[in-house]
Amino acid sequence: MTGNPDCKKKEHKMHMCALKAEGFDKKKPVKFMALTENPQYKCENCGAKANKAENLCKPVEL
Ligand SMILES: [Zn+2]
Ligand SMILES: [Zn+2]
């Protein structure tokens, strides 16, 4: 799958790995910022930070 071939979750298209691989941070910077403005978790796969664990493939608490 885009950004992380190991992620089997059906929500992967909303994960930071996939969003970054698609250029979502460039195409929709405001929406992307909203997902990352108050990060509580980071992704063990790509290192991206996010407000919610549900937006990461392998969330770990910051
Ligand atoms: Zn990731
Ligand atoms: Zn994923």
- Summarised one tens digit per residue, pLDDT across range 12-48 is 999 999 999 999 999 999 999 999 999 999 999 999 9
13 CA to middle of ligand 1, Å?
Answer: 11
The structure's pTM equals 0.88
Q: Where are the beta strands (DSSP E) in the chain?
A: 41-43, 49-50, 59-61
Sheet holding 49-50, edge to edge: 49-50, 41-43, 59-61
At residue 7, the pLDDT reads 94
- Residue 45 DSSP class: T
For the cut 70, the answer to whether the pLDDT of residue 1 exceeds it is no
pLDDT of residue 2: 84
The rounded Å distance from CA 59 to ligand 1 centre is: 8
Domain extent at residue 45: 29-62
Determine, yes or no, domain membership for 45.
yes
Number of domains in the chain: 1
Q: Is residue 55 part of a domain?
A: yes
pLDDT at 61 over 80: yes
How far does residue 33's CA lie from ligand 1's centre (Å)? 16
How far is the C-alpha of 48 from the C-alpha of 26, rounded, in Å?
15
State the ligand closest to the CA atom of 21.
1
Indicate whether 3 belongs to any domain: no
Q: Which ligand is nearest to the CA of 8?
A: 2
